[in-house]
Amino acid sequence: MNSLLAVVYLLVFPGFLFLFVASLFGQYLDRKLYARIQRRVGPPLLQPFADFVKLLAKEDVVPDYADRVMFTAAPIFALTAVFAAFLYLPVVASVGLHSFQGDLIVVLYLLMIPTLAMFLGGWYSGNVFGVRGGMRVASLLFSYEIPFFVALLSPAVLAGSWRLSTIAGYESGHPLAIIVSLLGFVIGIIALQGKLERLPFDIPEAETEIVAGPLVEYSGRRYALFRLARDAELFVGAGLLAVVFLGGPYPILVSQPGVLAWVNGFVMFLLKTFFVIFLLILMKSAVARIRTDQMVSLAYKWLIPLALVQITLAVVLHSLGGLL
């Protein structure tokens, strides 16, 4: 029976099927709100699913000058890494099925793999635009990853644990900790936007400059997998910020027994995750694309120093103890 529950957890809920549906809904929300802000109608609810099915049915072309193995493996690795990261998030309960001390570090590293896969996909495509886009991906990797890591480690220091469920419980039980970590939350939002290569950080895929960057040669099933990986990374990244900074499935200072706790926790997780996605959409709508040097300057002149200030504050408050 435990094995059956594990299979259901992995494949159905809150496993791959749930992540698939949530990711496509996140893409719909992104496109719909972005369109409404620009006074356009936007797509219907099932448009992301229709686009995914359409891509699966299209011809899947591999250029003669591409490395077929790496060209094919890149989108698979990207999607697999995001799915694996999602399994560690406490979605419906205080402790996930694969939760352990240090799972925060594992999730952070897993969410770095899609970026590396994007670089490899562009590099081994053999296309000059793909290679150029892949080089942009690699150069930006060292800009946003550092502040993203440091910002998310700050709540872990406050909670005195590297376990996601423990951090979420601490944030929920100590509302002042959320205020203390507000700077880290803002940095995390900006850095996540960079990880997802969304406006104003869509530098690697700049359509007006290098067509689609590392994805220029992708089509059919491979392109569908890359798009799904990006949509899933949006949901998982937002969910990670919701868990670390907003308490994840924990209601603020409210506890309920039995099944109600699971349902309430799941609803709270979704509300907080889509709140983070909403903030990402607002940023995408309000700011134009910046250059590569501007992104690097933003990260090293502002985000990293501010993230270090945030984690220093967390270390001081944690060492004093009991102030929150």
User: 108-120: per-residue pLDDT in tens?
Assistant: 999 999 999 999 9
User: 295-304: per-residue pLDDT in tens?
Assistant: 888 898 999 9
Tell me the C-alpha distance between 222 and 238, whole Å. Answer: 24
* Residue type present at position 55: L
Query: And the tokens for 233?
Result: 């990374």
- The pLDDT of residue 113 is 95
Q: Domain spans of the chain? A: 2-320
* C-beta neighbour count of 320 within 10 angstroms: 9
Inter-CA distances, 100 with 16, 97, 161, 233, 234, Å: 20, 9, 10, 21, 23
* Residue type present at position 140: L
- The pLDDT of residue 255 is 53
Q: Provide the residue count of the chain.
A: 324
Tell me the C-alpha distance between 150 and 265, whole Å. Answer: 27
- The pLDDT of residue 308 is 92
- The pLDDT of residue 275 is 96
Torsion 199-202-208-212 (CA) sign? negative
Low-confidence spans in the chain with pLDDT less than 50 = 1
- The pLDDT of residue 288 is 74
- The pLDDT of residue 238 is 96
For residues 108 and 167, the answer to whether their CB atoms sit within 8 Å is no
Tell me the C-alpha distance between 262 and 202, whole Å. Answer: 37
Tell me the C-alpha distance between 41 and 181, whole Å. Answer: 37
- The pLDDT of residue 118 is 92
Tracing tokens 């802000």 back to the chain, one arrives at 37
